[in-house]
A and B are shown apart, each in its own frame.
Chain A
Amino acid sequence: MNITGNSQALSNSRAWISKKSDFRISKKAAPWIFLLPALVIFTIYVVYPILDSIWLSFFQWDGIGEKTWVGLDNYSQLLGSKEFRTALINNVIWLVLFMLAPPLGLMIALFLNQQVYGIRMVKALFFFPFVISQVVVGLVFSWFYDPSFGLLNIVISWFGGDSVSILANEQYVTYGIVAAGLWPQIAYCMILYLTGLNNLDPEQLEAARLDGSRGLKMLWYVVLPQLKPATFIAIVVTVIGALRSFDLVATMTAGGPWGSSTVLAYMMYEESIFNYRMGFGASVAVVLFLIMDIYIAYFLWRMIRSEK
């Protein structure tokens, strides 16, 4: 009795120890257990939908009924679509003009990179547009452009010009929206450069100054090379921001007037949600995705190279 009781206790404690060591995961399995939740949800919500959208772009589908395989039909329709051409051209305009954000951000950063009283507050206020929602930015700029009381037209009338309704004018509308988009984007680039300027190597600057280097020359040959990481990130986020442009188009014009300010991101939304052409919408998304992939691939290539 006593002996069996003891052995019982012993095996119990053995079981407990082995249980504990079962729970103790090996060093090899550990990273996978840590990664598992993130991988699962990311695969379900991001990786799989990308593949599914590509697959869907070969079908005709109204979102509810049967899907019909149409091969490359959606894509050949795209080629002939006037709306698609407008969207593509507008995306190029966004991309080209958005490239102003890094240099302008750098200019503001250089202007603000001083140590005077209250400068922190000044920097924060300059950064302000990036923090607020693009819906609010769109609202602010619609107000700014308003033909009857908008500030822009008041200024134009001071100079004797006629009032223009930027957002109702097919020629100007995209430029008007891009200008609104640049506002927060410049702020973002500015903050990247301010951080970069903070981390400049003071010895190199001193050495360059002793050699008589100053002003623009010094900026170009000594400072900019050191700001390379900031420039790289600024360009990447600006390109992505330009191609992602949706919020401003949706809030300021909804693609109008007469579809003249649409971009690929907005066209895709419109075709799928309002026109129930899911397959066609997916093909627009795939085109946008392919364009973006060039930049994503370049970014990843640089990153993996620097890791190795």
Chain B
Amino acid sequence: MFPQPIAKASFGVNISYRIALPVSIVLWLLPLMAVMATSVRSLADINAGNYWGLPTEWNFVENYTMVFTSTPMAQYMFNSLLITLPSVAGAVALSTLAGFALAKYQFKSNVWLFAMFIGGNFVPFQILMIPVRDLTIQLGIYDTHWALIMFHIAFQTGFCTLFMRNFIVGLPSELIEAARVEGVSEFKIFWFIVLPLVRPALAALSVLVFTFIWNDFFWALVLVQSDEVRPVTAGLSALRGQWLASWQLISAGAIVAALPPVALFFMMQRHFIAGLTLGATKG
């Protein structure tokens, strides 16, 4: 282990390390805590400039209820879910098939196709913007949930294929070969042998891609515009212009918008980190 385990150090070092940990967290998350604290203040406090003292009254319930009753926040959250869930399912499904093909079959253009998926995943969004927007309009799905779902499936397929291919490459080929010798069809090999083995990777990938798509802001600006379809990132940004002085509501809204990916992260922490770092240990 590096650095040396702290347990081997002196008592004093141990104590100061344990004190340093919470202090560093507070410093690291200070900007966020400020917003959290503001989200429970009353308007009176904000107007009086009481941003940092104890709130004169705790308006937790009032502020958070108001976010849902006097703004379309609930609609935005629902839109985000309606866009994110099918996108995740679509991208993961397509890329599991593609990843299997690239990992376990040898053919000439294999490496180049793989490179195409990886390269596409790194391109700046702006180079896609105008044609994708035109395409979306031509397909008649501009300003609908489908506009975002289709794009996210396509774009995330790049990253997901990279991920699934690298995971499936590590699975034993003997199993697949043995099944083939037995005369099992290629589809059945995929369905009954590969799919059960990639289940942990599917979980990791889904969690990760969920946050990517949930947090997307650029495409939410470019491909939709009405409140009925806008996801929460673009919604929050629009609301900010409308409630200029009501910082307590904007803060509460921001916390609400951040909640689903954060909750998912804390519930599935291991999967999440495994997904994020799959490329970091080999590559």
Q: Which residue numbers of A lie inside 8 Å of B, CB to CB?
A: 23-25, 27-28, 30-32, 34-35, 37-39, 41-42, 44-50, 52-54, 56, 63, 110-111, 113-116, 118-120, 122, 124-129, 131-136, 139-141, 143-144, 148-149, 151, 154, 183, 188, 191-192, 195-197, 199-200, 202, 205, 214, 218-219, 222-223, 229-230, 232-234, 240, 243-244, 246-247, 250-251, 264-265, 268-269, 272-273, 278, 281-282, 284-286, 288-289, 292, 295-296, 299-300, 303-304, 306-308
> In chain B, what residue has the closest Cβ to A124?
B269
CA of A239 to CA of B41, assembled, Å: 39
Q: A25-B185, A44-B135, A223-B2 are in contact. List 17 more A-B contacts (CB 8 A).
A: A35-B101, A44-B154, A49-B128, A50-B123, A110-B3, A125-B25, A126-B25, A135-B257, A151-B31, A151-B34, A192-B277, A243-B124, A246-B217, A268-B129, A269-B218, A296-B122, A307-B114
On chain B, the residues within 8 Å of A286 by CB distance are 127
Identify A299's interface contact among B17, B122, B130, B154, CB under 8 A.
B122
Most buried by B among A38, A114, A222: A38
On chain B, the residues within 8 Å of A42 by CB distance are 116-117, 120, 154, 157-158
A45 B123 Cβ-Cβ under 8 A: no
Given known contacts A53-B131, A131-B261, A229-B281, is B97 in contact with A38 (CB within 8 Å)? yes
> In chain A, what residue has the closest Cβ to B154?
A45
A246 B187 Cβ-Cβ under 8 A: no
B130 A281 Cβ-Cβ under 8 A: yes
On chain B, the residues within 8 Å of A31 by CB distance are 101-102, 105, 107, 110
B89 interface residue (CB < 8 Å to A): no
B128 A128 Cβ-Cβ under 8 A: no
- Chain B: number of interface residues, binned into ranges: 35 or more
On chain B, the residues within 8 Å of A281 by CB distance are 126, 129-130
A35 B126 Cβ-Cβ under 8 A: no
0/1 string, B11-34, CB within 8 A of A gives 1: 000000110010011001111101
B273 A49 Cβ-Cβ under 8 A: no
On chain A, the residues within 8 Å of B273 by CB distance are 127, 191, 195
0/1 string, B59-88, CB within 8 A of A gives 1: 000000000000000000000000000000
Identify B126's interface contact among A47, A202, A230, A285, CB under 8 A.
A285
A-B contact pairs, 30 of them (CB 8 A): A25-B187, A31-B102, A34-B101, A34-B190, A41-B150, A46-B128, A49-B131, A53-B131, A110-B3, A120-B269, A131-B262, A132-B261, A133-B233, A135-B236, A136-B258, A140-B32, A143-B38, A144-B31, A149-B49, A192-B277, A195-B281, A196-B281, A199-B281, A233-B279, A251-B237, A268-B126, A273-B222, A281-B126, A284-B126, A296-B122
Within 8 A of A (CB), among B105-143: 105, 107, 110-111, 113-120, 122-132, 135
B98 interface residue (CB < 8 Å to A): yes
> In chain A, what residue has the closest Cβ to B122?
A296
CA of A156 to CA of B128, assembled, Å: 43
Identify B135's interface contact among A24, A47, A49, A63, CB under 8 A.
A49
CA of A188 to CA of B105, assembled, Å: 33
Given known contacts A35-B102, A133-B215, is B281 in contact with A125 (CB within 8 Å)? no
CB of A194, distance to nearest CB on chain B (Å): 8
The 3 closest A-B pairs by CB, nearest first: A45-B154, A49-B131, A38-B98
B144 interface residue (CB < 8 Å to A): no
CB of A263, distance to nearest CB on chain B (Å): 10
B283 A285 Cβ-Cβ under 8 A: no
CB of B146, distance to nearest CB on chain A (Å): 13
CA of A308 to CA of B6, assembled, Å: 42
On chain A, the residues within 8 Å of B167 by CB distance are none
B35 interface residue (CB < 8 Å to A): yes
CA of A125 to CA of B25, assembled, Å: 7
Given known contacts A133-B215, A135-B257, A136-B257, is B283 in contact with A303 (CB within 8 Å)? yes
Identify B32's interface contact among A41, A128, A303, CB under 8 A.
A128
On chain A, the residues within 8 Å of B24 by CB distance are 111
B123 A289 Cβ-Cβ under 8 A: yes
A30 B122 Cβ-Cβ under 8 A: no
CA of A139 to CA of B85, assembled, Å: 26
Identify B35's interface contact among A50, A139, A214, A295, CB under 8 A.
A139
On chain A, the residues within 8 Å of B130 by CB distance are 49, 52-53, 56, 63, 272, 278, 281-282, 285
B277 A38 Cβ-Cβ under 8 A: no
On chain A, the residues within 8 Å of B232 by CB distance are 133
CA of A41 to CA of B151, assembled, Å: 9
Given known contacts A122-B21, A151-B34, is B128 in contact with A250 (CB within 8 Å)? no
CA of A42 to CA of B17, assembled, Å: 49
Given known contacts A45-B128, A45-B132, is B211 in contact with A131 (CB within 8 Å)? yes
Given known contacts A31-B105, A140-B31, A303-B118, is B2 in contact with A205 (CB within 8 Å)? yes
On chain A, the residues within 8 Å of B247 by CB distance are 143
Most buried by A among B51, B100, B128, B261: B128
